[in-house]
Structure 1
Amino acid sequence: MGLFTNNDDAMVKKDDDLKRGKTLPTRAPWAPSSAPRTPPRKTIKRFVIALAVGFFVYLFIKNLPPMDGPIRRDYRHPRYGDRKPIGKQPGPMPKMKSPPPERIPEKPVVKDTPGEQPAAVVAPPTVAAAVSARTYDGPIYFRKLAATLQAIESSTSGYSAVNKNVLFAAANLKSASLLLPMACKMGTELRSYVHFALMGGSEIDLDELRAVNGIDESCQIIFHDARPDYAATSTLSRLETCATRGLYHIYKYMHPQVLLLDSSGAEEHYFLDGIRKQADASGVPVIELPKNAHSRLSWMTKLDSSSLSAWNKISIDILIHAPPGGSGSLIRLLQSLSAADFSAGPTPHLTIELPHDIDRATTEFLKDFHWPPSRPHNPSNVRQLTLRHRIPRTRLSEEERSVRLLESFWPVSPRYSHVLVLSPQVQLSPGFFHYLKFTMLEYLYSTTSILQSWDSRLLGISLDLPTNTLLDTSKPFSPPAPKPSKQSKEAKKSSLSSHTSSSTPFLWQSPNSNAMLYLGTKWTELHSLVSNTIEHQHSAQSPSPFFTTKLVSKRYPSWLEHALRLVRARGYFALYPSEETARYLATTHNELFKAPEEYEKELSTNEDSKGGEGIRLTSGPLLETVQLLGFDEMPIVTFDGKETGLERLDEGAGEYVREFRKAVGGECEGWEGPEVGERLRVGDLFCLGGE
């Protein structure tokens, strides 16, 4: 630093010499004794050093920043700190159970401190010296969340684990703009309490967010500001923790039945990671909406909270039984499946039952056939295709055909696992899967269906509307007209049943082999019925006319006869669409009709094997206009084409059960099972008392 010069070095050397014993006069010999003394050189050196040190201390103090002033922030060039939060990071919050959660105290600030349970506290002291962008990692405070949570806890039954609360959440403003129109549409249906929580690091005011997205009071949305303090300058790890903690508080006071997120790619990754973690810990079902959900899935806004909570629980298998030959029909069906839109849920598993002799065209097509199709919403390309190639060369009998088809599927969870049976003669529209998901969620899992036990009588949901004839093909059939009874005031207000048409969906005691979704619970009953029937016929000395008389035409596969017996014995019915809706869903190409394998020889010269012309698929109505009437608003038709009511349906079932049990064993003498008028299990029909 230049504190020392060359002359000074020479002086220091002389001083060292003195210390070694050399003596120098303290003053010149010619100087008088009374002359003043010269200061020692060592003292001068110390003085110079002290001045230098003092100068540097002065510069240091002068350049210190003021203690009470803010540190300069540079918002034009934000820096994302990579340091980890101080202290142990909290894990996912435990799932809240009864008793109801404690109320947040009156002061509307919620604080989260790492390692402690969340609690409501007063506002923290102002952080001295504000931090630069994306570097703040202090304690977490939700200053505006508690007030809105307190307000809705009682009015929306948020303290209850079962309620009507549906939650939309977003951190990215673009994602918020995608979700808000759907939330608004759902809110106007008045079937659920719709909430929207804004999280993340944005600084936009909620009123401004509403105004920009055209949200007003008519949308019936309850907003919650779930952003922490210093959101704009928080580290990404802090914001992820805030998403986790924010949902924990919301769950505690709202218990949302379902959480809807934007999964189009616009949402913040830290937000999705944090909120998925907490949703899993709290047991909140999450629906991640794909790209263009506002147009592709707008029908879901008509569903209530109970239906939406079952969104991810449903699984569907597709089952196709391909007869020998007729490759053109099978290829056309598989092509229509590949073109379908499965954005409403996981792509169904596909099982194709192949005969022993496979034609060359089918073999070549299946080599390049991929299932599910390669699409953006199926990036993993996991194969969900099962091909079963039969070993026996001989044609199947009635019994073998029924057994082979029913053994092709078994529901993992009968309540949520269902099977769609398709004939190769069917061609499906791209939107068929959306219709199935829509109707299943409404008629099996909505609050109304659960309270009224709609699913207890429902055999399945048909995509195809049979025309011209009944199951025995001997009599003409025309779909019924809408019921003349007036709709309730509640139904008039809801768009679910406001659509008027000359045709109507209806309930028919007619199983379908063209294109019908069979409920998992009913499939297990059908499985049991066929098993017991086969065992009874093998053990009986002579077959009973009750089981040999056919009510289903041989144009249909033999297993349909068993399905009709189940329907008649239990008083079941299937849901059939209106004519307008059916054109939108599927068509059966009768011009390419091929008889079932077990009846092929019998129908080869029969006029009944002639098929009509196929119906072209039309661009049918959007699902927003599809009628979802209550079961009491739809006409009920017996298997032989007569309109009826539930009471007469039960009377017919009781009479059929008596005939069935008489054919099995003389009305099961000595059997002390349920009364005929009561709902019997399948085993009770055979006097077995089991399923």
Structure 2
Amino acid sequence: MQTWGRMGSLFFSDEELGKKDDDRKPTKLPHMRSQWSPSSAARLPQSRVLKRLAIALVLGLCLYLFIHNIPADLPIRDRRRPVYNHLDDSELEPLPPKPKPMPKLRPARPHSSKPTTKDEPPVPASGSYNGRIQFKNLGASLNAISETNGEYNANRNVLFAASSLKSAAVLLPIACQMGTMLRSYVHFALMSRSEIAFEELRAVNGVADSCEIIFHDARVDHSASSADTRLGTAVTRAFFHIHSYMHPQVVIVDGSSLEETFFLEGVRVQVPDMEVPLIELDADAPTQLSWITKLDSASLAAWDKISIDILIQASSGASGSLIRLLKSLAAADYSSGSVPHLTIELPHKVDPPTAKFLETFQWPPASVYNPTHAKQLTLRHRISSSGLTEEESSVRFVESFWPANPGHSHVLVLSPQAELSPRFFHYLKYSVLEYIHSNAAVVQQWDSRLLGISLDLPPTHLNASEPFVPPVKKVAKSRATESDESTSFLWQAPNSNAVLYTGHKWVELHRFVSRALELQRKTKPPLPAIFADKAISKRYPSWLEHALKLSRARGYWTLYPSQPTAGNLAVVHSELYKAPEEYEADLRKTPEPAELSLTPGPLLESLPGDGSLLHFDDMPLLLWDGTPTNLVGLDASAADYAAEFRRAVGGCDSLAPDDLIPRASVGDLFCTRDD
């Protein structure tokens, strides 16, 4: 305490110390209080005054040196903007926006960002600057999109990004078309070396307000003079920030030679870490992939999850048809996804032309980019030389495929008589994304009834004797007139010519065939009429009869294209027709139905309306025999057939109501409780 008293005396007068002591001591009488006068200050010791002056001078000198040496080259830190230290990313901690309730689809548009100008230190010559990374205009636009629910992993945000102005000119019209559909929040991020103002970028590319695009200036500071390595690092970090604030469901870029190398390298490094699909459009994208503008964010989020296998059941004496089919497959455009795995079921006796063709047949095709040189072709050659029975043929074919993930793995069944258009794969992927993965499909559970998606339009009914006339849709031409227009439709009848079966339904068909054949083997003749009677002509393979029974019992349907669309997808030739092996001895010569001609062209032009796929509610619906119906009628027909099926297999009277609920194990149809 004595030390503190001595130190304190250097800074406080005796009177002030006395005042502090008064606060702690009992109050004294007035006559005992010290009296202050100007003369009392003069009586202070001279040494104490000198000490105080010396200390004041030292403090003043220290304060002057501190102020004079404050660094003047540090920029003002704007906490709203993402700022990186060039060598250390750990300093960045972006603050997520506060959660807000789901707004209407269109958010308020953030103001276009024009590069700000501040007093900045000079930078080195063009292409050599490698300083600290800072995004001066990105924070404002990211903070303005909180209404898009970007803080949540699942939202409706779709991101287009570009560095090259030429690539931006390719992407902006596509983004504009998608934005006008009002199915997603469409964003465009520019990570360019160019200092072009966004107003000029929009004007040059004809981007009007009606395009509904939200722009983000993700250019790094000093972009025009930056080294490529700095720009590449800035790309990865810009995507990190965008992902934190936006969580886009898909990233779409121009993957052609128009785009900057540093940008594509950065995108390919960062986007996989975001765990979202990366769509790299090629030079033909504006025409060949224009259908992606019709899809919503949920569909595009499943872009790289879809897997499609192709399954062909070849027969002896039909080498010409098989070779024509394989050539059409090799000539198709697979730019919308990975090339399907191809399985060919060969008979015991393989024709010499077929064997010679397969020796040099390359799959994936040489025209498809395949850096790993992986082979996607499986040939299965039957051992037995005896003819197949119906049961053996069905088992062998259905066993040829099993979906690893039924929700995303599907199989395209092709007859050797089929020939495909170069656009067939685009249509399949477009339809799968829309009818299985879109927001509308998930909400309305469209996939619960979708057995398959056909590429061709059969000329006859399943009995192969009655011509099939596709339904039409009434379209109003004016207030007083209507006209019939070709349309896609839903038919309870399955197909084996060229049809994609969904993974879930193939699993169910697999189990249905297994239990049906097991029941037939255990049942003494005669078989119940539900098994013995054939509703499908022997021109079709035997497994299709099982697919029809399943479809009738469940109320499933197959999606068929309109006549103009079918002509742009696939055609089934009849001049080289070969009967299924199991029916070769029974099938007599029948009149050949008229076939459609293949007229390949732009996909969207062959679709009705503006190229958007119709909702199931807007399509005509047919029972298996071609009778027009509605959803209520379909359900009633399915309930009647399922009840008849259960009576035929026997033992269903003892089942409780819960046991009759349809399930993938089909145990409710075969009166067994094991799933």
Residue among 484, 487, 494 paired with 1:504: 487
Q: CA RMSD in A?
A: 2.5
Map 1:106-125 to 2 at 5 A. Answer: 108-113=80-85, 114-119=88-93
Contact 1:327/1:362 (8 A) holds in 2 = yes
The whole-number CA distance in structure 2 between the counterparts of 1:392 and 1:615 is 36
Aligned 8 A contact 1:591 1:613 in 2: no
Q: Which of 330, 351, 374 is 1:382 aligned to?
A: 374
How far has the Cα of 1:675 moved from its partner? 5.9
Match of 1:526 in 2: 509
The partner residue of 2:628 within 643, 662, 672 is 643
Could you tell me which residue of structure 1 aligns to residue 562 of structure 2?
A: 578
Deviation at 1:237, TM superposition (A): 2.6
Q: 1:409 aligns with which of 393, 401, 412?
A: 401
In our comparison, the structure showing a higher alpha carbon Rg is 1
SS at 2:83's partner residue? strand
- Counting only pairs closer than 5 Å after superposition, residues 74-113 of structure 1 correspond to structure 2 as 108-113=80-85
3-state SS in 2 of match to 1:516: strand
State which of 138, 143, 157 in structure 2 corresponds to 1:145: 138
Give yes or no for the alignment of 1:664 onto 2:657: no
Give the equivalent residue in structure 1 for 2:533: 549
Is residue 479 from structure 1 mapped to residue 474 from structure 2 by the alignment? no
Equivalent residue letter for 1:470? H
Using the TM superposition, give the Cα deviation of residue 575 of structure 1 relative to its aligned residue in structure 2, in angstroms.
0.2
1:689 equivalenced with 2:673 (yes/no): yes
Match of 1:623 among 592, 598, 604: 604
Q: Is residue 482–residue 635 contact of structure 1 (8 Å, CA) maintained in 2?
A: yes
C-alpha separation in 2, matches of 1:198 and 1:680: 48
Amino acid at match of 1:215: V
CA distance in 1, matches of 2:662, 2:352: 53
* CA-CA distance at 1:658 after TM superposition: 1.3
Q: Which residue identity does 2:491 align to in structure 1?
A: W
Q: Is the 8 A contact 1:244 1:277 kept in 2?
A: yes
Q: Secondary structure at the match of 1:575?
A: strand
CA-to-partner distance for each residue in 1:69-98, whole Å, 9 max, x for gaps? xxxxxxxxxxxxxxxxxxxxxxxxxxxxxx
Deviations 1:429-470 (A, max 9, x none): 111111111111111111111111111100010011011x32
| Aligned pair partner of 1:134 in 118, 127, 135 | 127
Please tell me the residue identity of whatever aligns with 1:294. P
Query: Structure 1: how far apart are the matches of 2:194 and 2:488?
Result: 48
CA distance in structure 2 between the aligned counterparts of 1:374 and 1:656, rounded to whole angstroms: 49
Per the TM alignment, residue 379 of structure 1 is displaced from its structure 2 partner at its CA by 5.0
Q: How far did 1:386 drift? A: 0.9
What amino acid does structure 2 have at the position aligned with 1:617? Answer: L
2:24: which partner in 1? none
How far does residue 260 in structure 1 lie from its aligned partner after superposition? Answer: 0.2
Distance 1:267 1:365 in 2: 40
Give the drift of 1:607: 3.6
The 10-residue stretch of structure 1 (552-561 or 542-551) with the greater mean CA deviation from structure 2: 542-551
Q: TM-score, normalised on structure 1?
A: 0.78
User: How far off its partner does 1:222 sit?
Assistant: 1.0
How far off its partner does 1:674 sit? 2.2
1:569 paired residue number: 553
Task: Using the TM superposition, give the Cα deviation of residue 395 of structure 1 relative to its aligned residue in structure 2, in angstroms.
Answer: 1.0
* Partner SS for 1:320: strand
Q: Cα deviation per residue 1:262-305 (whole Å; 9 max; x = unaligned)?
A: 11122222222222322222212211112221111111111111
Q: CA distance change for structure 1 residues 343 and 350 in 2, over 3 Å: closer, same or farther?
A: same
Residues in 2 aligned to 1:514 and 1:362: alpha-carbon distance in whole angstroms: 20
Equivalences for 1:182-221 in 2 at 5 Å? 182-221=174-213
Residues 582-591 or 635-644, more deviating: 582-591
Residue correspondence of structure 1 range 237-636 to structure 2 within 5 A: 237-375=229-367, 377-378=369-370, 380-467=372-459, 469-482=460-473, 502-542=485-525, 543-603=527-587, 606-608=588-590, 610-620=591-601, 622-627=603-608, 628-636=613-621
Distance in 1 (CA, whole Å) between partners of 2:601 and 2:259 is: 34
Structure 1 residue 678: Cα displacement: 6.0
Q: CA deviation at 1:646?
A: 1.0
- Return closer, same or farther for 1:301/1:614 CA change in 2, 3 Å cut-off: same
2:19 counterpart residue number = none
User: What secondary structure sits across from 2:380 in the alignment?
Assistant: strand
Contact 1:343 1:377 in 2 (8 A): no
2-structure distance, mates of 1:453, 1:383: 36
Cα distance, 1:231 vs structure 2 = 1.5
Query: Residue 171 and residue 621 in structure 1: after superposition, are their counterparts in 2 closer, same or farther (change >3 A)?
Result: closer
- Amino acid across the alignment from 1:118: L
Between 440-449 and 620-629, the greater mean CA deviation after superposition: 620-629
Gaps spanning 5+ residues in structure 2: where? 1-76, 96-115
Q: CA deviation at 1:233?
A: 2.4
How big is each residue's C-alpha offset from its partner over 1:40-77, in whole Å with a ceiling of 9 and x where there is no partner? xxxxxxxxxxxxxxxxxxxxxxxxxxxxxxxxxxxxxx
Shift of 1:617: 1.3
Q: Is the 8 A contact 2:472 2:484 kept in 1?
A: no
What is the CA deviation profile of residues 146-190 of structure 1, one whole-angstrom value per residue up to 9, with x for unaligned ones? 111111111x22222222111000112222122112111211222
Which ranges of structure 1 fall in alignment gaps of 5 or more residues?
1-104, 487-498
How far residue 376 of structure 1 moved from its aligned partner, in angstroms, is 5.3
Rounded Cα–Cα distance in structure 2 between residues aligned with 1:374 and 1:444: 31
Could you tell me how far apart the structure 2 residues matched to 1:611 and 1:598 are?
20
Distance between the aligned counterparts of 1:658 and 1:401, measured in 2?
28
Check 1:407–1:208 CA distance in 2 against 1; reply closer, same or farther (3 A cut). same
Shift of the 483–677 alpha-carbon distance from structure 1 to 2, 3 Å rule, reads farther
Deviation at 1:555, TM superposition (A): 0.9
* Alignment-derived partner of residue 489 in structure 1: none
User: What is the SS of the residue equivalent to 2:411?
Assistant: strand
Percent identity over the alignment?
Answer: 54
* Number of residue-to-residue matches in the alignment: 569
- Mapped partners of 2:550, 2:463: distance in 1: 17
Instruction: Report if the CA contact (8 A) 1:422-1:513 is conserved.
Output: yes
Contact 2:423 2:600 in 1 (8 A): no
Q: Using a 3 Å threshold, how does the CA distance of structure 1 residues 550 and 376 change in structure 2: closer, same or farther?
A: closer
Q: Which amino acid aligns with 2:597?
A: R
The structural deviation recorded for 1:106 is 8.0
Opposite residue 272 of structure 2, the aligned amino acid is D
| Aligned residues of 1:110 and 1:118 also touching (Cα < 8 A) | yes
